[in-house]
Structure formats: structure tokens, C-alpha cells
Structure 1
Amino acid sequence: MKLKQFITLILFTTLTHSVWAQSPKAIIKGTVVDSISKEGIYYSTISVHPITDAKKLTGTIADEKGKFSLENLEPGTYNITIDFIGYIPKVFSNYTLKPGDNNLGTILMSINTNVLDEIVITGERPIIENKIDRLVFNAERDVTSAGGNATDVLRKVPMLSVDIDGNVSMRGDQNVRILINGKPSGMMANNVGDALKTIPADQIKSVEVITSPSAKYDAEGTSGIINIITKKKDIGGVNGSISGGLGTRHNNGNANFNARKGKFSVVANVGGNYMWPQTVTNDFEQFTIGGDPVLRQFSDQKTTRSGLRGSIGIDYDLTDKDLFTTTFSVNGFEMNMDGNTNSTFFLPNNSNSSLLSNRDQKTASDGFDWSADYTRKFANPKQELTLSGQFSRSNSITDYKTIYETGGRLDEIGENKGINDEFTLQADYVQPLGSTTLEMGVKTILRDITSSSLIQEGTDGSFHISDDRSYDFNYNQDVVAGYLSYGFEFAEKYEVKAGVRMEHTKLNGDAIGGFEAFKNDYTNILPTAVISKKLGRMSSLKLSYNQRIQRPSLFYLNPFRNTADPIVQRQGNPELKPELSHNVELGYSTFKKGTVFNASVFYRRTNDVIESLNQIDSLSTPGQQISLTTFDNIGTNESFGTNLFLSFSPIRNLTLRSNISLFTYEAKGNPFNEEMSTQVDKLHFMYRAFVNGSYKISNDLIAETFVMLNSPRRTFQGTSPSMSMWTVGVKKELWDKTASIGLNITNPFWENTHFKSEVFTPDYTQTNNMTLPFRSFGLTFSYNFGKVDTKGKAKKERGIKNDDQKQGESNQGIQMGNGM
């Protein structure tokens, strides 16, 4: 062969190989959705194998919207199977993949009625699901929370922490809105900690944490929204469950009932809890700046607590496109304290005086929520019109009787009743525009808040009304809002959702005591924006900005001064202004081979921060100093921080989960005199962390442990208590997994837990040390009954979401933790 011919052959062979090597690959795309609800099927599996080699298998899983994409496939003929537990598999036989995109379109999956009728459990969701717009904690998978209440569940949720009083924080900020099944509840307006204790843990299906709510949500909650979803079955049939727990500290029971036939369905549940009587002690001390004692108070209170919550919901399909639902729920909570308080006053001449009193106090709340929703669907399943209405009433009651055995003070009987009425009307419309979505809506909330106080004074059992301390107070808060939100995708891997919400607020309050009558109108324009990018099949990066508002609720506004304790007292402030915050967050999340990792950094600036304000009152009782806690707008807080969550399985059957939040607190622009605080303009670091491990001993036996550690929470005047807890639990499933029994232990090696809070000012310091029985042992049980009918329809969430008010933290100081 001549040299020229040889070179030509080499060049031809190289060029042919290059062209073959660069031949385009095939890509499969599609969206897997439920044939009835038209919602994406998360974690559905897509299996792809060439017909020439059945053993050569590849595939992927769908994301939270049911979308999937599989790249770098050789063109050719394949068998493609889409499958998910409980559904009939969808098979594409002898499907020819061409070079480039191969779009399977929308793949409708139907429920496999034969499978659902024959088995009880069709599959298990992971305990943590990290979706594009929210993090979901599947509480029904948790072992150690069984037999407890909602506060026990929320302590396990990443980014959240719960203190001894039941106050919930999201990344260090207590300004979080709590919804139940996507709706507000009037019981949250008084005391969030008490309200959460009325919800049994066994009634909770999952908890959603939304850090970047869209414009559709009310703008309340400077840190975000928590949505507690209770258990219900959306498919047909008659079924239900009973569960509960018996323990050394508290007991509870819960029952659920679901029935659906044709177009009609009923969902009902009832739950209650009761805490055995326990003795809580408090040691309160106040010192001058030089360290000299001013007063000391020691009290021991016998405390009992009980709660009840029930609801019934009715759904009716007027037509295939017209849906109606109504829900009525009731709630009640009561805490009783009875004990002695010994107060010692240290006088300048090295003498002292004592005051011994006996206090019997009851704190209670009750109320109801009634909502009705109408939804109109259209030919496009994503197009929807919803009209909603809701009326809520919440009553808060504080009654006490204080008898002074020494000190020469008048005995006292106090009664206060607060009523919070809310009436809401709302309209929402969703219009898909090709690959984009337009959402709009209007809403009005009318609030009527009243507080009635009656104080009686006397001696030897003879009492008379104190006219200057008895009153009726009225407060009106009306909100009108509208929003517009637009979402779209571009460049395949990017998704944007931006919107704006306008809220106009009108306030009107009576004059009372030292508070003047007031009227105030203000309008807020509140933008939101989120952009996310997919990084591979199961990873994403998200950047968000939102502006949010927090109006004070009845807990903060109520001017009633609780003087049951002679030294440590509390009073609300009806003149509070709302908080306004700016929030920026950058988050990354990934899911790979059973490992979930979530990391985020955030910055939050909050103006007119509402915090508790401690001050000395020496005027109401001459010759004695009273520590008065009220609330005020204390300035601006700038906070930045990070949250890290990791879940993985180092060995088979063992799953480890850990979450740590690190964040700062810095109060600026304090309007009060310097003597109020020594902490102004100082940067403080705080943390929240937990480690959770579960081990599947066998198919029907699982063990779990949970360790939590929270640093003290900073305020502009001091600190609230730190908290640590260790729980261990084991659960055994019985009777083909229709029933279970379990054992839970909390703090097994420490009978009592100590909580310390501090207040610092340039003139005085004060501390409160509380000792609370916290160790507990409990037995839990559950039983599921009934049969499913897979002809029923799944229901989409709809209806009222009132989430615009700052909710009440629990009482600090002498009452701290008494509801635990």
C-alpha cells in the first residue's frame, strides 16, 4: 500500500470513529401524576432497559412534582416501566428512543384497588422529606413522641425548637405562625404553648416548615409558617384508629374516624390529655448592681393540667368540578396551681420584712373554629377558584384568690375573661398559562377583642369590688388584603415564583388605666421572590427574599394585670405596634442513596421587635418593689445564621438524623433609657441542636433515641432558660401491623430539671430558678380498624389561612413551665 493511500485510510477511520463517538444521545422526560388528584407522585420509579439485554437496567425517580429526566441513553428500542407502591404500573413496551429529547408527557397512574384491599401498609415515607418550598417531618413515623403532645413532635423537626413553656422558635425567632391543616385556629391567639399541649402527638400525621411563604399566604410570621397536618384518610371506606398513652407524668388518648361513600365523606377526631399533679418550685432573687439583696421569693405550687380537642369535617362533591367542605372544631385547656409563696424584703437598715401568701389560680381557654369552603375546578385541573369563610371564637380565663397570712396586705380575688372573635372571607383564583401559573386573591379579617376584669379586695372573707382596678376593654383590628403571584420555569432547570401582597390594617382601642384611646390605620406592600435551580435529579439550590409583618395578638394586648403573686406580676400592652421584617435565605438540599442533606444561610432584619420588658414598679404598692413584666417595641434586631440537617444510614436498619442551628441576636436603636438594659447593641450567639437515631430490630420492632440541647435565648434585657432533654423509645407492631404498643422514657437519670432565667440592667439584676419534675416513663398503644374503598377521591388542601398575628409566648417568671 502506498503511503498516500495509507494516510487516507487512517484519516477516514479516525473521522468515522469521531463521528460515531459524537453521535447524539437520547433523553427521556415526563411527569407522573395521580389520575384523580392530578398531583405529582413523589418518588415514583422509572425503570429503563433495552429489549436486547433485559439485564442491563437503568432508571431514576421522580421529584416532588412527579417530573423526571434520564440522560445519556443510547438510541434504540427499550421497555420502560413507571411504578409506585399502591398504583398500577404503567409500561411502555418496545418504545423507540430517538436521538435528543423523548418526552413521554403526562403519565396518569391509577390506584391498584386489588393491592389496597389486601394489604394494610403499602409503603413507608421517609421521616424527613425535603421539598422545593418546604421541609416535611412525617410525625407518624416517630417513635419517641408517641403518647405525648404537639410540643414533643415539634422538638424533633429540623429548624424548630420548643422551650420549657411550649414557645416555638424557627431558627431562633419565636415569631412563627402555626396552622392546623392549612387553617388558623382561634386557640393560638391566647397562648401557643397551652394550645399545642391540647393536640395529642398520635393525632399528628406530619409537620410542614415553610421558611419562604409565597404572597398567597398571610404575611404574618417574621420567621415563617408551621403547618400541622392531622391524620385522615382521603380514600373511601369506613376506617379509623384509637391511640393513647399512660405515664408517670402525663396521659392522653385520641380517636379518629373516617367514612366516605360516593360523593360524601366525614372525618372526625377527638383527643385529650391529663397531667398528674406535680410540685413546681421557684426561687426568685433581685439584687442591686453592687450585689446587695433587695428581695427574695420562694414558692412551691402544686400544678395540674388537662386539655381537650375535637373536630368534625364534611366533604361533598356537588359535581365533578364543584366541591364543598365544612369543618367545626372545639378546644379547651385548663391549668390549676395551688401553693404558698414566701417573700422577703431586705431593707437599707439591715432589717427585713416577710410576706407569706397562699395562692389558688386557674388559667383556662376554650373556643371553636367553623369554616366552609367552596371550590370550582375547570377543564384544566390546575385552574381553580376557591371561596372560603371562617368564624373563630377564643375565650381566655384567669381566676385567682390570694390570701395573705402575714404582711398586713388585703386579700384579693381576681377574675379576667378575654374574648377574641374573628370573621374571615377569602377568594383565591389560580390560572395556568402554559408553563406558567398566575395566582391572585382577596381577603378580609375582622377581629373583635374584649377583656373584662373584676378585682375584689378584703379581709376575713369579706370582699368588696376595687373600682379603679376593674374595667371592660375593647379592641378592634380589621385587615383587608390582596395578592398577586406569578410562577414560571426557564432554561429547564430554573424555577421562579414572585409576588406582592398588600395589607391594610385598621386599629381602634379604648382608653383604660394608664393607656389612652387610640386609632391607627396603616398599609403595607409586602413583596416575595424565590428562584430555585435543579442540580442533578435530586439536588437543588434556592435563593429567596420576603417581607413579612407580625401583629400582636390578645396575649400581648390584654391590659389585665395579674396580681395573684405579690412580687412577680405581668400585664399586656394594647399600644403595641406590629413588627416588620426583611428575610433573605440561600438554601441547598440534596437526596442521594438514602442520605438527605439540607444547608441554609439566612439574614433577617426585624423592626419594632416585640419583647417582654421587665421593670421595677414601686408606685402600686408603696414601700415594696414589684417586678413587673409587660411587652413593648424594643427596637431593631438583626440576625444572621445557618441551619444544617443530615439524615443517613451508616449500616442497614440504622438511621441517624442531626440538626444544628447557629444564629445571632443584636438589638439596636432601643428607645428606652439606658437603665432598662445593659445588653443594647451587643452581638450574642445562640444554638439549637439535636441528634436522633432509630434502629429497626425486626420488621415489627423499632427502637429510637433523641437528644436535644438548646442554648439560653437572648432578649434585650437578659436570657430565657436553656433546655436539654433525652428520650428513649421502643415500639412493637402487632396483628399484621394494625396495632402497636410502645415504651417511652424521658430523662431517665434525672428526676428534676432546673431552668434559669436572668434580667440585667445598670441598676439591678434578677434571677429566677425553677425546678420541674421532668423524668417520665410511659406506655403507648394504637389500633387501626376498618376497610378502605379505593373508589374514593383524594382532596386537595383549600380554605382559610389566617396567619397574620403574633402569637402569645407562655408566661415567664413564676409561672414558667407549669404547663409542661
Structure 2
Amino acid sequence: MNKYYRIYTVFSLLFCSHILVGQASKTPYLVKGNVSDSTTKKTIEFATISILDAEQKVIALTYSDENGNFKSSDISEGSYFINLSFVGYGQKNLLFKISSQKPVFDFGNILLNSRVNQLQTVTVTGSKQLVEQQPGMLIYNAEKDISNNGGTAADVLRKAPILNVDAAGNVSMRGNSNLRILINGKYSGQMARSPGDALNMMPAGSIKSVEVITSPSARYDAEGAAGVINIITKKGQQSVSGTVEVVGGNLEQAINPRLSVNRDKWNINSTLHLHRFRNKELTELDRTTLENGRPTGRLYQEITKDNTNPHSSGDIQIEYTPDSLNLFNFSVNGWLGRWPDNSTQRNRRFSADDALLEEYQQSATTQAPSKGFDLNLGYTHKFRKPGEELYLMAQHNRSTDDFNYISSQTGLERNLLFRETNDNRTNNNEWTFQTDYILPLDKSGQHALETGLKAILRNGGTNYNVQESSDSNPDVLVPIGSRSDQFDYRQDVVAAYGQLKLKWKNGWALHAGARMEGTFLEGKQRIQNTSFNNEFWNFVPSATLFRKLNANNNLTLSYTKRISRPSLWDLNPNANSQDQNNITVGNPRLRPEEVNQTEFTYALQTDNDVFLNFSLFTRKTNNSIESVVSIGDNGVATTSKQNLASNAQHGLNFSTSFPILPGWKFNSNANVRYAKFQSGALNISNDGIAWGINLNSSWKLPKNFSVQVYGDYDAKSVTLQGYESSWLYYSFSAKKEIPSKKLTVTLTTVSPFGQYISRTDVVRASDFNSTLNNRYMMRSVRLSLNWEFGGLIKGTQSRKISNDDQKNVKSGG
């Protein structure tokens, strides 16, 4: 494995170096400048800069960075217009000329006025780098990836650097699934409930970019040990704009309309997502129980799941900008869906000498409807002093989730042997209040102090009622008092942070800060009359040292400490035993885990559209929350979350993006890491090397055709009690644009040469060995029709609340 990884790395470096040398000999035509507010003189981030020819056709497109700077090298000799625009500001058109005598044109500082002047609509057809580097994060510009058309947010994250999305839809960063996913910088109750479901409820066409934040600053909640993912959505800039997307395929169908209205000081954006997809899995479980190293029995299961998941979501965002110093924003997001988990099983149990002892069929019918909404209200005030800003935010989230199943066991002659029902309803209700203040420490605004306060008031509960039949009378259900209860849970979090941002003209920058968080927990099982109270405080420091070597090269060294609180789903004591041989149960006594992470990054980003990023990282997790499998005397496996382990990971990430030929681009992400898990309580130590690589290549062809090839391979990776085998995901896409109709047609096929993607989970302990062979049906074809009306679509910019304070992987029940 190491040999191939070294070969790949050396090849990529040599190839990129060849491109750089080859392109260095050409005339470096370059346009650059800076964009600022005419009133406050504060730089404007994410302003749109379009370069147009004499016929007003856009030939290049870029955006201003966090310092208001922009540059573009996608032009040749000639005369052009530059168009600058940003929501709430009037557009500006300027004439300029590029020649061999003046290959670099510097506009200097360009001021935009807050008044809105309506100009002729500009159709943007330029290009932007697929991956970009910012201090502490990588940005994946999803709107530039044609294979995302017609897909979901899960498809988008699968192609983002450093991230991994497996065949089951689980997202991880550098082998750690403990991360937070935000939407436009704000917390989403829908995402907190189940990230996998929420990503499938978000159309890829609504996503502008993905920020992969590997070293979150003190401004972020301390949760998210692996890092933070921030999904930036699109919004309209012209008076009326929008898109209508229709998706049809063998596994999914969707309708995704978006509408934006921009009138003077108002900007209104709304989206709707109607989606239906099929999820089919085939599983084989082979588990052998042991005593003193010798087999005592064996369980073999064949499980089939084939479910259709209809769901919908929608949101509306309203921004009001009375002037360049004030911004009010309001948003509401709601969701509604059904997530059935029906299954059929064939179970066979064998003796120590492999003689068949028992054989029966089992079926489970599961209803899992969910619904909820998020409300956000925010106010932003920019002071006359450049860079001085105040943010006030409030948020309310409410959701209801059911998980009800009926499980039946029948003999080979279809005679009923056993029945069980479990009705479980979970409610979650929370309020969040937050304020942030930025104080510039010098006239240039390069040095600043940022402080903030936050309070999260969260309460929830789950009611669960279990009934079972007896062996003598399987038709009659009897309530089981020991497994029925009402679990009430309350979690309040208060936090304060401060961080210093320093930036010098010699290329050095330092972001250093700390966050103090207090957590207050209460839990009670009413019928069993048991309760617990817990209170703890966490000091969370972070620091990032940045060195800009020159215009294209930079280095970053960062340290951050993170924590992860258990969520209601991890704490829920209701046992999910729809499969009587494999039970999952929450643990109300879980405590937070604590993580320390250090990262060193080198980044190269040239004017010739070449991007390279190397990251060395080390991460140590104490009191780690891990899924632990144990075997009872009856051979039944019980899985629950436990604070019984620690883990350490050390690794390297490599990302690159560059043009091979005009119109032909290539990008890739690779990673290799060493992981070690230890648990003194369980007497377990497991370690190993894991690696993965993805390749993505796209070609622009004549007559507005484009094609793309994508592949992702992940090698075997270790877990606390075993390992997960390798797996491969790949897709092909073709796109046809019809500019006169503003219509785009995209055809994508996933895994066309194999119906299923396979992955094996192996779990071992002193008293059992278990092998779970999973096959996920992935072979699909989808056709997407996207019609755009109105003008330019760009990303939303207002600051929102981001409750990234819980570790949350939803499990049934």
C-alpha cells in the first residue's frame, strides 16, 4: 500500500510541476484588485467579479476572498469590461485593456455603493477552481461539478476533499464520524436528527460550495471532534431568479424548485424538495460464540431490506438591508418524511460441532415518520469603524420522531412462534441565543478581537411501550413493564469565547482563542423512578498560525481541542430488539469525549488554476464514545455506546486540482492514516493503517457538451473491535447545456458494472467472532432536467446560529 501511495504522490507532484514549468513560459496575463464598501471602507468578501468581452459575454468569473482581494488569469490580450456585484450594492462596470506591454492590470481598491442600481442581466459562463484553500479549511465548489446534477447532498460530500461517505451514507473525516454538518453556518434540527436522512433531503443543485473546516476556531461550538462541514447554498441576486429541477431514475425521483426575489433592500429565497428513493440492502451475518477460544455455537442470518423513502423539505430565507450598516434576516426550514426499515430474515443456529439446532423466518415492519422545523432570526450591525460588527441571533427548533416496529417469528411451516411490538415517540425542543462582537484593533482592520456569548436550552423525551407474546400463546401480546417507560432529558449549555486575529504585512497571521463551555444534564425514567444529574465545564483552546510565503504558497500550523456530548439518540434507553439476536440500546450514563488535534498544512494555489494541499495531522481522543458489542449467555449480541476506550490517529491528506488541457480538468484527494484503539476495561488494543483515494476528471466538449468520470476507493480500516473491508464507488456523467433555453440536461450512472457495492464488517472479542457481509444496491441511472430563469445565483452570506455541540448518530428506537 505504501509503495503505491508514494508512486501516486510523486507522479502527481511531477505532473503538476511539469504543468507549472510549461505554463510559466507563457505571458502571465493577470487582472487583480480589491473590493470595499464605499461607506465603511470594509472589504467585501465573496463579491462576484465577471470579465466580459466587447459583446458583453462573460469569459471569466471569480470571487473576492476574505480580504476583498480578487485575481483572474483566464484571459488573453484585448479590451474587456469588468463587472463587480454583491447583494445590497450597486453593480459597477469598468473598461480595461490587457497587452503584452501591460500583462498585469491592477485595479487597486474598487468601492461599491450600497444603493442598488439595476443593470442589464449578465449570463455567467465562466469557470472557477473546483477546490480552494483558506486558513483552516478547504472549499469544494460543488456547483462546478456536473456529476452532482440531479443528486443529493450526500453525492456532493462524497466528492469534497478529506471527507468520506460510505455506501450506507455515513459521513466521516479522516476516519472519524464525529463531526458537525451546518447549513449556511447554522444548526439544523433536521441534520441533528439523522445526518444521513437529512443529506438525502437536500438536492445537490441547491448547493454552491462545501467548506471542510479541519481546525475550527473558538467561535465554533466545542463539539465536532473531527471538524466541521459547512454547506453553502445558492440564492438569487437579480430581481427574480430561480430554477426548476426534475429528476427521474431507477432508484430515485425528485422535483426541486427554487425561487429568489430581490427588490431593492429585500432578498427572499425559497426552496422545495420532493424526493423519493429506494434503499435495498442484502446482509449475511455469521457469528461464532467462544469459550476459552473454542466454539460453543454459531448463528447464521440472511437479511433483506428493500424500502422506499418518500420525504420533503422546504425553507424560506428573508433578508432586509435598510442600508450598508444593518442587515436583518429571518428563515424557516421544515421537513416531513417516512423512513421505513422493513426487513425479512432467515435465521439458523448451529451447535459447537456445526449441527443445525434451530431454523426460523423473521420479519419486521417498521414505521419511522418524522417532522420538524427550525426558526432563525438574526440582526447584523456594521459600525462606522471598518471591521467593527455586532451579531444578534435567536433560534428555535422542534421535532417529533417515531420508531414503531412489529416483529414476528415463524417456523418453516409458517406457524407463528413469537411476536413483539415497540412503539417509540421522541420529542425534541430547544431554544438558542447567541451574540458575537468583532472589535478592530487598528485602523486597517488587520488586527481584531472577536468575542461572543451563547446559551442552548434543550429538552426532550421519549415514550416507549413494548409488548411481547409468550412461547405458549404467540398470538396474544402482553405489555412488558421492564421495557416500557418515559425517559425525560434536559441539556443546557452556556458558553463564552474570545479570540484574537492578527495579520501582518509580511505574510504572517495568527488566530488564537479559547472557549469556556458549561453543560448541565438531567435525565429521568419516570416509571422505573431512576434519575441522574451531571454538570461539567470544558476549557477549549485553539490557535492557527498562518504564513503566506508568496502570492501562491502558504503554510498553516493549527491546534484545537474539541469535545463531543452524547445526543438523545445515544442516551435513549429503549432497546431496539426487532432482531431478537441483535439488540441495540442507548446508554443514559454516557459522558462527553475529549479530543486534541494538531495539523500542519502546505498549500499551493497558482494563477494557472493549479491547486495542491498537503496536511499532516495527529489526533488523540480520550473517553471516546464507541459502539461496543457484547454477547450474553443466550448468544444474543447487544450494541450500545460506551466511554470505555481511547483512540489516536496520525495521517496525511493530499488534495490536488489542475488543468491537463484546455477544457480538461483533473482533481484528486488521497489520505493515509495510522489508527490505534485501546480499552483497558475491555482488554482491547487494535491498530492498523488505512488509506483511500478518489479521482475526478471532467472535459468540456464542443457544442456545450461536458463529460465526467469519478471514482472513490477506500481500503480496509480498523475499528475498536475489528475492521471494515475496502469498497469502491464510481460514476459517469454527461451534460448538455442549451443556453438559449437556459436548460441543462444531465445523465449520470452510478456503479453500472455491478449492481451492488459490498463491504464487510468484522467484530471480534474473547467470547465471539462476527462477520457481517453487507451489499448495497447502488447501480442506478438518473436523468436530470434543470431550467434556470432570471439572473445570477450566488451563495447566502448572513451569519446564522450553528449548534455544533452534540455527537449524534441516530439509531432506531
**Counterpart in 2 of 1:603?**
618
Q: Mean alpha-carbon deviation: is it higher for 509-518 or for 641-650?
A: 509-518
Give yes or no for contact 1:241–1:783 (8 Å, CA) kept in 2. Answer: yes
C-alpha change, 1:743 and 1:672, in structure 2 (3 Å) is: same
Q: Are 1:581 and 2:586 matched, yes or no? A: no
1:153 to 130, 153, 156: 156
**Counterpart in 2 of 1:366?**
371
**Counterpart in 2 of 1:627?**
637
Q: Are 1:477 and 2:491 matched, yes or no? A: yes
Give yes or no for contact 2:278–2:306 (8 Å, CA) kept in 1. Answer: no
Q: Are 1:643 and 2:646 matched, yes or no? A: no
TM-score, normalising length: structure 1: 0.84
C-alpha change, 1:502 and 1:279, in structure 2 (3 Å) is: closer
Give yes or no for contact 1:32–1:44 (8 Å, CA) kept in 2. Answer: no
**Counterpart in 2 of 1:250?**
252
Q: Distance in 2 between matches of 1:697 and 1:457?
A: 63
2:135 to 118, 132, 137: 132
Q: Are 1:66 and 2:68 matched, yes or no? A: yes
1:421 CA displacement: 1.6
Alignment of 1:212-251 (within 5 A): 212-233=215-236, 235-251=237-253
1:605 CA displacement: 1.0
Q: Mean alpha-carbon deviation: is it higher for 607-616 or for 306-315?
A: 306-315
**Counterpart in 2 of 1:99?**
none
Unpaired runs of 5+ residues, structure 1, are 1-27, 47-59, 71-79, 94-102, 619-623, 816-820
- SS of 1:305's partner is strand
Q: Distance in 1 between matches of 2:792 and 2:155?
A: 30
| Structure index of larger Rg | 1
Q: Distance in 2 between matches of 1:639 and 1:229?
A: 29
Q: Distance in 1 between matches of 2:375 and 2:725?
A: 37
Q: 1:700-720: CA deviations, max 9, x gaps?
A: 211001000112332110123
Give yes or no for contact 2:501–2:511 (8 Å, CA) kept in 1. Answer: yes
2:510 aligned partner, one-letter code: V
Q: 1:515-535: CA deviations, max 9, x gaps?
A: 952211111111111111111
Q: Mean alpha-carbon deviation: is it higher for 202-211 or for 291-300?
A: 291-300
1:365 CA displacement: 2.7
Q: Distance in 1 between matches of 2:139 and 2:201?
A: 22
- SS of 2:148's partner is coil
1:356 aligned partner, one-letter code: Q
1:801 aligned partner, one-letter code: S
Tell me the number of residue pairs that the alignment of Structure 1 and Structure 2 aligns. 741
Q: Are 1:419 and 2:420 matched, yes or no? A: no
Q: 1:129-162: CA deviations, max 9, x gaps?
A: 2223421111111111222211111010000001
1:447 aligned partner, one-letter code: R
**Counterpart in 2 of 1:268?**
270
Give yes or no for contact 1:416–1:452 (8 Å, CA) kept in 2. Answer: yes
1:175 CA displacement: 1.1
Give yes or no for contact 1:166–1:810 (8 Å, CA) kept in 2. Answer: no
Q: Distance in 2 between matches of 1:521 and 1:359?
A: 40
Alignment of 1:30-179 (within 5 A): 31-33=34-36, 38-40=43-45, 64-67=66-69, 83=82, 88=92, 106-109=109-112, 117-121=120-124, 123-179=126-182
**Counterpart in 2 of 1:25?**
none
Q: Distance in 2 between matches of 1:800 and 1:728?
A: 37
Q: Distance in 1 between matches of 2:121 and 2:327?
A: 30
C-alpha change, 1:110 and 1:599, in structure 2 (3 Å) is: farther
Q: 1:220-276: CA deviations, max 9, x gaps?
A: 11111100112212x241111111311111122211111121222321111022124
- SS of 1:231's partner is strand
- SS of 1:802's partner is coil
Give yes or no for contact 2:286–2:300 (8 Å, CA) kept in 1. Answer: yes
1:613 CA displacement: 0.4
Q: Mean alpha-carbon deviation: is it higher for 200-209 or for 509-518?
A: 509-518
C-alpha change, 1:290 and 1:84, in structure 2 (3 Å) is: farther
1:40 CA displacement: 4.1
Give yes or no for contact 1:267–1:312 (8 Å, CA) kept in 2. Answer: yes
Q: Distance in 1 between matches of 2:810 and 2:174?
A: 16
Q: Distance in 2 between matches of 1:415 and 1:305?
A: 20
Q: Mean alpha-carbon deviation: is it higher for 655-664 or for 779-788?
A: 779-788
Q: Distance in 2 between matches of 1:352 and 1:460?
A: 21
Q: 1:277-311: CA deviations, max 9, x gaps?
A: 74634444335344665211122233222221111
Give yes or no for contact 1:311–1:329 (8 Å, CA) kept in 2. Answer: yes
1:502 aligned partner, one-letter code: M
1:705 to 701, 709, 733: 709
Give yes or no for contact 1:85–1:122 (8 Å, CA) kept in 2. Answer: no
Give yes or no for contact 1:237–1:788 (8 Å, CA) kept in 2. Answer: no
Q: Distance in 1 between matches of 2:226 and 2:416?
A: 48
- SS of 1:155's partner is helix
Q: Distance in 1 between matches of 2:751 and 2:784?
A: 17
Q: Distance in 1 between matches of 2:218 and 2:662?
A: 43
Q: Distance in 1 between matches of 2:441 and 2:144?
A: 38
Give yes or no for contact 2:43–2:68 (8 Å, CA) kept in 1. Answer: no
Alignment of 1:516-555 (within 5 A): 517-555=531-569
1:210 CA displacement: 0.9
Q: Distance in 2 between matches of 1:361 and 1:84?
A: 56
**Counterpart in 2 of 1:6?**
none
Q: Are 1:572 and 2:577 matched, yes or no? A: no
TM-score, normalising length: structure 2: 0.85
Q: Distance in 2 between matches of 1:799 and 1:61?
A: 22
Q: Mean alpha-carbon deviation: is it higher for 349-358 or for 462-471?
A: 349-358
C-alpha change, 1:411 and 1:198, in structure 2 (3 Å) is: same
2:146 aligned partner, one-letter code: V
1:557 CA displacement: 1.5
Give yes or no for contact 2:287–2:768 (8 Å, CA) kept in 1. Answer: no
C-alpha change, 1:756 and 1:430, in structure 2 (3 Å) is: same
Q: Are 1:334 and 2:343 matched, yes or no? A: no
Unpaired runs of 5+ residues, structure 2, are 1-30, 52-61, 73-78, 86-90, 98-105
Q: 1:319-349: CA deviations, max 9, x gaps?
A: 5533221111011332224343222222357
1:389 CA displacement: 0.6
Q: Are 1:672 and 2:681 matched, yes or no? A: yes
**Counterpart in 2 of 1:8?**
none
Give yes or no for contact 1:63–1:538 (8 Å, CA) kept in 2. Answer: no
Q: Mean alpha-carbon deviation: is it higher for 690-699 or for 356-365?
A: 356-365
**Counterpart in 2 of 1:765?**
769
**Counterpart in 1 of 2:317?**
313
1:211 CA displacement: 1.1
1:119 CA displacement: 3.1
C-alpha change, 1:785 and 1:689, in structure 2 (3 Å) is: same
Give yes or no for contact 1:81–1:89 (8 Å, CA) kept in 2. Answer: no
Give yes or no for contact 1:44–1:66 (8 Å, CA) kept in 2. Answer: no
- SS of 2:361's partner is strand
Q: Are 1:455 and 2:470 matched, yes or no? A: no
C-alpha change, 1:115 and 1:266, in structure 2 (3 Å) is: closer
- SS of 1:367's partner is strand
**Counterpart in 1 of 2:19?**
none
**Counterpart in 1 of 2:213?**
210
Q: Distance in 2 between matches of 1:380 and 1:736?
A: 46
**Counterpart in 2 of 1:661?**
671
Q: Are 1:777 and 2:781 matched, yes or no? A: yes
C-alpha change, 1:146 and 1:284, in structure 2 (3 Å) is: farther
**Counterpart in 2 of 1:56?**
none
2:132 aligned partner, one-letter code: E
**Counterpart in 1 of 2:26?**
none
Q: Distance in 1 between matches of 2:356 and 2:46?
A: 75
1:528 aligned partner, one-letter code: S
1:379 to 374, 378, 384: 384
**Counterpart in 2 of 1:186?**
189
Q: Distance in 1 between matches of 2:487 and 2:770?
A: 32
Q: Distance in 1 between matches of 2:712 and 2:404?
A: 35
2:733 aligned partner, one-letter code: G
C-alpha change, 1:501 and 1:285, in structure 2 (3 Å) is: same
Q: Mean alpha-carbon deviation: is it higher for 256-265 or for 285-294?
A: 285-294
1:363 CA displacement: 2.7
Give yes or no for contact 1:85–1:123 (8 Å, CA) kept in 2. Answer: no
Q: Mean alpha-carbon deviation: is it higher for 173-182 or for 308-317?
A: 308-317
**Counterpart in 2 of 1:356?**
361
Q: Distance in 1 between matches of 2:133 and 2:497?
A: 27
Give yes or no for contact 2:503–2:509 (8 Å, CA) kept in 1. Answer: yes
